[in-house]
Structure 1
Amino acid sequence: MSIKTFAAKLFARQVYYTTQKWVNNPIETQKKIFHELITLAQETQFGKDHQFNKIKNFEDFKKQVPVRDYEQLKPYIDKVVKGEENVLWKGKPLYFAKTSGTTSGAKYIPLTKESMPFHIQAARNAILSYINETGKADFVSGKMIFLQGSPILEEKNGINLGRLSGIVAHYVPKYLQKNRMPSWETNCIEDWETKVDAIVKETINENMSVISGIPSWVQMYFEKLQKKANKPVGEIFKNFNLFIYGGVNYEPYRAKFENLIGRKVDSIELFPASEGFFAYQDTQTEKGMLLLLNSGIFYEFIKADEFYTEKPNRYTIGEVELGINYVLIISTNAGLWAYNIGDTIQFTSLKPYRIIVSGRIKHYISAFGEHVIGKEVESALQEAMQGTNIQINEFTVAPQISPEEGLPYHEWFIEFEKEPNNLEEFALQIDNAMRKQNVYYDDLIVGKVLRTLVISKVKKNGFQDYMKSIGKLGGQNKLPRLSDNRKIADKLKEM
């Protein structure tokens, strides 16, 4: 055992015991975070506007601070972007994480000196949790790659801004610098296809042990590696045994990945966002990710089916239930208050509190009142593929409201790596899995409002071509699993 491996195991054990202190006291931990946030922000403009000095508990907070999304918080954020101090949080942010907004163009999410360390600690602790549970730590001596955005930062009124993954690149610990790939120069390449080609060239002869990134873009990297070396990724990188991912569900990609790698590898799921690092997979044996209750974030939860009612109930951590689809609401030490990040989650465990990401509150299909969410389409596809050699590269779902003939239906756009022998039978299996999960969808099929879903095959690399056409190829960009309109569907039809 190397000194580095021994030190990693020792550190992992220490972090585990520290984590257990707040894991075993979740409600008290969240109450403490809540009061700290309110106290520290009392003298900010937002704090004064919402009478933080009079807020004594969560009930007061709900009365004073409504739930907002980016658009509704934008008047405050605009002041921060202009360089004003003490607006949402004390002083000025360290950074702005620049993300793509659906209605507002670019979004600027503040990162402060209080919030930034938690982004780094959470990613580190996810790996340490894996080491502590499995005892596997030899990978720390190998090379590690993190497929991410460019670390080149711009400046806006004295504040640096860039993609979150690019900002985080500036915080890689010294003890990992020699192990980390790709090189700084390659990481700075903006064009994604050029960047991946350069990464392949740099890494193909290295001892890669850990690979991390959004599955769809890591898949692109693996395909290029395999094509260049003419052998599976697992043979190119004999010590590659850990895949770290976030952003999308890995399950639809798992079969394709194992085929590209040539064997199974362990994986760790993360739930990072510009607004905060919310959860990570802390065990290989239980479903879900550990919700980080001690990371400068106070959480609220609104039931998704109540979210668009006039006054939906807002729940704290001690009031949540298993299996309910909740909209995640956060207040943070970066100055986001009762902020709707747009993600929906479900709890898989209440002791400790573990979650899965079930979708986006705006990414659903309910053209006929079916209320289909991302988790349901992913689970249905996974069930239909089980026990087969079918492999997919990517997929998305949209409603077809006005077909040329027959009843309306859900149209599944799928790029296959290995197609089913009978496409209609495969579609029926997915449809049956959907009906078992979603009673509204089942009622519409039974009532002959909808007909069985239809699969439209997408050409090889069709989704990559689509993402490239809208300027979102690579990085942290993700294809929506489903849409309540045909904006993506119509584009795919044209290609």
Structure 2
Amino acid sequence: MDFLTKAVLPFFRYRLKQIESHVMCADAVQQRQLSNLIESARNTEWGKKYDYKSIRTYETFQQRIPIQQYDDIKPYVERMLQGEQGLIWPTAVKWFAKSSGTTNDKSKFLPVSKEILWKCHYKGGFDAVALYLGNNPSSNFFSRKGLILGGSHKPVALNQHAHCGDLSAVLLQQLNPLVNLVRVPPKRIILMDEWESKIKAIVDYTWNKDVNSISGVPSWMLVLIKAILERTGAETLSDVWPNLEVFFHGGISFSPYRAQYKALIPSDKMHYVETYNASEGFFGIQGDLSDPAMLLTLDYGIFYEFIPMSEIEKENPTVIPLEDVQTDTNYALIITTCGGLWRYMIGDTIRFTSRNPYKFIITGRTKHFINAFGEELMVDNADKGLARACELTGAKVKEYTAAPLFMLNAGHGRHQWFIEFEHAPESLDEFTKILDDTLQKLNSDYEAKRYRGMSLLSPEIIQAREGVFYEWLKEKGKLGGQHKIPRLSNQRTYIEELLELNR
């Protein structure tokens, strides 16, 4: 371990002890978060509307405050964008994260209070490093440079009262100057708003630097890695950055990309740490490098609630606090935050793998699944199925999306997959069969619908030409950063647009 890393290690060890202590009293920590949030907002317009001064229990909070989606809070956000304050959170909010988690045209502007910035997002980054160092005590983390590949929209002034940008751009804009001493490239490059120009600038600046950590979305980081290899003529990233030791990744599942990263970074000292940092808050960090599940962040000014996905379509679904969750159940995530979001449905689904400590995996989106025939296929199933098919056939998936295909004969249907391969399988039929068999093993509902093809026929895979997903995102102005391909959809809108572009 280098001198600088050793010097700062005590600060991280102290925080690790705090995180470990929360395991023993997680429910109490969560109750304190709720109490503090209610107390903080009691004199806001929102707090007065729902009489926060009289709320003493979670049950009252649950009964009084309705579940919110973006359209419900949008009128408040629009007023905040014009400079009004004290509406949903007491401290002044001047920054807004422009949400781009889907390819929808409608933009969402999510408030970034100073509390959500420092007590949640930056705290999450600190804890991710703390947990990594706890897992890898021989690390030389601070002796070299870290590369953060963020969003492609630099922060801009909406008006004299408000600034906005992708969350990653907002975080980089407000980052402590000391962090910039160990980060590359400089702010003027990382905040460039034209994606392709930014990639070139990053490559030109960083290819000869001593980088030992990278952070970003796996799909877009691959674009950067391949551009670096093209620039240098190297076969692997380990040849360019021999001291590279960790990739902090998030935004999409790492499973379909793992084999590609292993081939591009064939180093036995390379580690991968998943984080769950959304525009709305920082919710999870992989605390054990041998376990893909993430620790739920408990003391970030966030109170969690959950709706079982089996009830998501009900008018009055069951909503439960953290202490009542069960393992192996898909839940829609509901958050109350120090950014002024109250019982807000973020749109992600998770499944707990452990209750002591609370550990979970992201399983998909509340709107990104396929349930056209009662199969309830989640993104987590799809990612694992593709990973298994790749493992057994030697294929590598670059991007994919899938949707139901309704047949005219006797109510039959199938799933149609549109896949761009980095390396295509020798037999697409074999790949399809492995995918289908794996999905049946992972998902009993899918298996039941596939039984003898009574309602769901074998899936169909259409091989995409190279670069078609990139072109699709470019057409929509959605290149880079937090922009992601919608993996599963109950409708055919996305796949039909891609199929048309593929011709």
Report the TM-score when normalising by structure 2.
Answer: 0.94
Deviates more, 1:479-488 or 1:1-10: 1-10
Q: What corresponds to 2:308 in structure 1? A: 303
Cα deviation, residue 487, structure 1 = 1.4
Separation in structure 2 between the aligned mates of residue 281 and residue 472 of structure 1, nearest angstrom: 28
1:146 paired to 2:144: no
- Are the aligned partners of 2:82 and 2:162 in contact in 1 as well (CA < 8 Å)? no
- Equivalent of 1:126, from 125, 128, 132? 128
1:96-115 alignment, distance < 5 Å: 96-100=96-100, 105-115=106-116
Partner of 1:35: 35
Contact 1:9 1:135 in 2 (8 A): no
Offset, 1:346? 0.7
Q: 1:151 to 1:11 in 2, by over 3 A?
A: farther
Aligned pair partner of 2:455 in 449, 458, 474 = 449
- 1:414-434 C-alpha deviation (Å, 9 max, x unpaired): 111222121111101101111
Q: Deviations over 1:292-320 (max 9, x none)?
A: 11110010011011111122111111111
Identity value in percent: 33
Provide Cα deviations, 1:362-384, integer angstroms capped at 9, x if missing partner: 10111222221111111111222
In structure 1, what is the equivalent of residue 14 of structure 2?
14
Structure 2 match to 1:258: 262
Deviation at 1:402, TM superposition (A): 4.2
> Which whole-Å CA distance do the structure 2 matches of 1:161 and 1:391 have between them?
36
* Residue equivalent to 1:238: 242
CA offsets per residue over residues 372-413 of structure 1, 9 Å max, x none?
111111111122222442211111111112479995211111
Please state whether the residue corresponding to 2:66 is helix, strand or coil. coil
Instruction: Check if 1:386 corresponds to 2:391.
Output: yes
Aligned 8 A contact 2:180 2:186 in 1: no
Q: How does 1:324-335 map to 2 (within 5 A)?
A: 324-335=329-340
Q: For each residue in 1:249-292, what CA deviation from the matched residue of structure 2 results, as whole angstroms up to 9, or x when unmatched? A: 11110111122223452011110111111111122123311111
Deviation at 1:102, TM superposition (A): 6.8
Counterpart CA distance in 1 for 2:224 and 2:353 is 32
Q: Tell me the secondary structure at the aligned position of residue 144 of structure 1.
A: strand
Kindly indicate whether residue 60 of structure 2 is the aligned counterpart of residue 57 of structure 1.
no
- For structure 1, the residue ranges without an aligned partner over 5 or more in a row are none
User: Is 2:370–2:490's contact at 8 Å kept on the other side of the alignment?
Assistant: yes
Q: Secondary structure at the match of 1:318?
A: helix
Contact 2:232 2:240 in 1 (8 A): yes
TM-score, length basis structure 1: 0.96
The 8 Å contact of residues 172 and 187 in structure 2, kept in 1 or not, is answered as: no
> Relative to structure 1, is the Cα distance of residues 188 and 359 closer, same or farther in structure 2, using a 3 angstrom cutoff?
same
Of residues 295, 315, 319, the one that matches 2:320 is 315
Matched residue, 2:466:
460
Q: How far apart, in 1, do the equivalents of 2:13 and 2:392 lie?
A: 38
1:428 partner amino acid: K
| Residue type of the alignment partner of 2:121 | H
Residues 155, 163 of structure 2: 8 Å contact kept: no
Structural RMSD (CA):
1.9
Post-superposition CA distance 1:437-467 (Å, at most 9, x none): 2222222222522210011111112211111
For the Cα contact (< 8 Å) 1:139–1:239, is it kept in 2?
no
SS of residue in 2 equivalent to 1:386 = helix
Give per-residue Cα distances to partners, 1:300-350, cap 9 Å, x unaligned.
Answer: 011011111122111111111111101100111111101000000111111
Q: C-alpha distance in 1, partners of 2:147/2:408? A: 46
- Any conservation in 2 of the 1:268–1:281 contact (CA below 8 Å)? yes
Show the counterpart of 2:482. Answer: 476
Residues 1:379 and 1:266: Cα distance change in structure 2 (over 3 Å): same
Q: Which residue of 1 aligns with 2:81?
A: 81
- Give how far 1:353 is off: 0.8
Structure 1 residues 105 and 295: CA distance shift in structure 2, 3 A = same
Query: What amino acid maps onto 1:168 in structure 2?
Result: L
Partners in 1 of 2:338 and 2:175 — Cα distance?
A: 22
Whether the aligned pair in 1 keeps the contact of 2:406 and 2:414 (CA below 8 Å) is yes
Equivalent pair of 2:94/2:161 in contact (CA under 8 Å): no
AA matched with 2:243:
N
2:168 counterpart residue number: 165
Distance in 1 (CA, whole Å) between partners of 2:258 and 2:209 is 24
Q: 1:355 offset after TM fit, Å?
A: 1.2
CA distance in 2, matches of 1:106, 1:24: 40
| Matched residue, 1:180 | 183
SS of the residue corresponding to residue 300 of structure 2 reads coil
Q: How far apart, in 1, do the equivalents of 2:328 and 2:205 lie?
A: 44
Q: Is the Cα contact below 8 Å between 1:41 and 1:47 reproduced in 2?
A: yes
Q: In the comparison of the two structures, how many residue pairs are matched?
A: 495
Aligned counterpart, 1:375 = 380
Contact 2:328 2:351 in 1 (8 A): yes
Which residue matches 2:224?
A: 221
Give the Cα–Cα distance (whole angstroms) in 2 for the partners of residues 184 and 310 of structure 1: 47
Which sits farther off after the overlay, 16-25 or 449-458? 16-25
For structure 2, list consecutive stretches of 5 or more residues without a partner in the other structure.
none
Contact (CA 8 Å) 2:249, 2:273: kept in 1 or not?
A: yes
Aligned residue for 2:142, secondary structure, equals helix
Cα gap change, 1:406/1:318 in structure 2, threshold over 3 Å: closer, same or farther? Answer: closer
Report the secondary structure of 2:336's partner residue.
strand
Which residue is equivalent to 2:251? 247
